[in-house]
């Protein structure tokens, strides 16, 4: 049987684009359909614009520090429209690069929604049906807003970058990394931020000690963090009015906000793709079930990235996409490695993490915990009270470093380097043998000599 293409990719995010390019470079005929903008969540409405907003929100503190260091520096008014215009110009540039790279690789692009019409067929929005030897689902995820609030004029993370003006006050609902990052960003831009989280502590899944450190820092910086608190009811007033949203919460309070942002998790973007109809098995919240090679229950259909709800990080999706194409079209069987994946939360300060948390490690084996908290030189001189936290989780049996957790400015940069050593199986003795780079914050990773606790 002849096919229109060897591979048809549904989804033009980072994972889908990488898979399409690698397959085309291996000599396959490839097509890709994207119903929105090329680049997906990360480039258009996630990692990239968010990190640029992180940079923008850090300047007030930098200017305060500059005065402490002797500079006659003053912060003027933040011009959100000017920043937003430049932000979207940058996103347009990046989208153009993604599109250009696909075209250079010989990939046919369909600017259309595509659904699965059979084990080896897809249907475009205009009704055209296209056949392919293999189909790859790379449609990512989407923000989730609880049904009872979905019809209200509240925001999701997708909407933050589109705001016409910054609100004077905002309620952020949620306690994951997206909620915490936007709380810090908007707080840094001068917005009065309140955050509700129904759990006992923010950043579930990260190391407990690090979570507490971030929470304390956020509150010290001016974020009103209400733990054990959830929304009961929201009333929305007329657009443009101050305190437009009246919010009643489980702590018995009624508060008013100019805007409400729900950052209550994300869901796999699999709805309406026709997957179940052709035999693809679906998991919790619509996650596409795959094996270690990203293959679904239908041998000709694979899936990668957030739509599979494995590790929802852009670099992981890219690795999965590359492994798929190398295996299927390059004749080099490979699998994406999901072990010891580092991550960073771009709060202020940042949280960098790789490996096991103290809690997870203790449930597996006896461990030694090496930890320190201190005022960094830069902050101490500037008169700031914020503290750095660094932590190593070490196996008592082997001495191997099982986890590393850092809360500090630039923790994302530090954890990337620490992750290399930990991925290679470095022991605490290896860390101890490494000469410190002085004076730096990171030197503390190799100067902690005695455990603070064991168990």
Burial track 90-108 (b if 16+ CB lie within 10 A, e otherwise): ebeebbeebbeebeeeebb
Q: H or E segment at 343?
A: strand 343-345
Q: Which residues contact 234 (CB under 8 A, 6 or more apart)?
A: 149, 152, 154, 245, 246, 247, 248, 260
266 in helix, strand or coil?
A: strand
Beta partners for 226?
196
* Backbone torsions φ then ψ of 444, nearest 5 degrees: -60, -25
Active site residue 438: yes
55 and 28 Cβ atoms separated by less than 8 Å: no
Q: How many angstroms from the chain centroid is the CA of residue 52?
A: 14
329 and 22 Cβ atoms separated by less than 8 Å: yes
**Shortest CA distance to 328 belongs to which of 74, 20, 4?**
20
Beta partners for 400?
427
Beta partners for 368?
394, 454
Total number of residues shown for the chain: 455
* Per-residue DSSP letter, 424: T
Q: Which residues contact 1 (CB under 8 A, 6 or more apart)?
A: none
In the set 134, 213, 338, 438, the catalytic residue is 438
Q: Note if the bond before 439 is cis, omega within 30 degrees.
A: yes
**Shortest CA distance to 107 belongs to which of 171, 48, 21?**
21
Measured CA to CA, the distance from residue 258 to residue 245 in angstroms comes to 6
Residues serving a catalytic function are 438
């Amino acid at each position: 049987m002849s096919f229109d293409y060897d591979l048809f990719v549904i989804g033009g995010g980072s994972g889908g684009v990488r898979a399409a390019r690698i397959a085309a470079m291996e000599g396959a005929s490839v097509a890709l359909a994207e119903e929105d903008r090329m680049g997906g969540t990360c480039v258009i409405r996630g990692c990239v614009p968010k990190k640029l907003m992180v940079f923008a929100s850090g300047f007030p503190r930098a200017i305060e520090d500059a005065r402490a260091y002797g500079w006659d520096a003053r912060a003027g008014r933040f011009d959100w429209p000017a920043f937003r215009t430049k932000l979207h110009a940058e996103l347009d540039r990046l989208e153009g690069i993604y599109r250009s790279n696909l075209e250079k690789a010989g990939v046919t692009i369909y600017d259309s929604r595509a659904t699965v019409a059979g084990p080896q067929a897809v249907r475009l929005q205009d009704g055209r049906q296209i056949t392919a030897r293999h189909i790859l689902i790379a449609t990512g995820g989407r923000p989730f807003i609880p049904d009872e609030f979905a019809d209200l004029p509240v925001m999701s993370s997708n909407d933050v970058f589109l705001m016409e003006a910054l609100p004077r006050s905002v309620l952020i609902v949620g306690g994951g990394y997206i909620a915490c990052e936007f709380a810090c960003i908007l707080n840094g831009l001068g917005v009065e931020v309140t955050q509700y989280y129904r759990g006992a502590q923010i950043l579930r899944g990260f190391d407990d000690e690090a979570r507490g450190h971030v929470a304390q820092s956020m509150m010290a910086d001016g974020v009103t963090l209400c733990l054990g608190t959830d929304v009961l009811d929201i009333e929305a007033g007329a657009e443009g009015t101050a305190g437009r949203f009246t919010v009643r919460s489980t702590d018995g309070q009624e508060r008013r906000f100019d805007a409400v942002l729900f950052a209550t998790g994300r869901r796999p973007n699999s709805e309406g793709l026709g997957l179940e109809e052709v035999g693809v098995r679906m998991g919790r919240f619509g996650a596409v079930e795959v094996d270690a090679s990203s293959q679904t229950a239908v041998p000709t259909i694979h899936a990668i990235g957030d739509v599979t709800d494995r590790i929802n990080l852009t670099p992981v999706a890219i690795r999965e996409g590359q492994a798929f194409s190398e295996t299927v079209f390059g004749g080099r069987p490979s699998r994406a490695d999901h072990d010891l994946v580092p991550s960073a939360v771009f709060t202020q300060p940042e949280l960098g993490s790789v490996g096991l948390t103290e809690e997870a490690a203790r449930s597996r084996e006896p461990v030694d915990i090496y930890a320190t908290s201190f005022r960094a030189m830069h902050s101490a001189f500037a008169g700031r009270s914020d503290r750095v936290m660094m932590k190593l989780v070490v196996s008592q049996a082997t001495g191997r470093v099982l986890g590393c957790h850092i809360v500090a400015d630039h923790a994302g940069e530090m954890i990337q380097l620490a992750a290399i050593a930990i991925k290679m199986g470095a022991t605490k003795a290896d860390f101890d043998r490494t000469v410190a780079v002085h004076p730096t914050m990171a030197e503390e990773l190799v100067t902690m000599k005695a455990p603070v606790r064991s168990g």
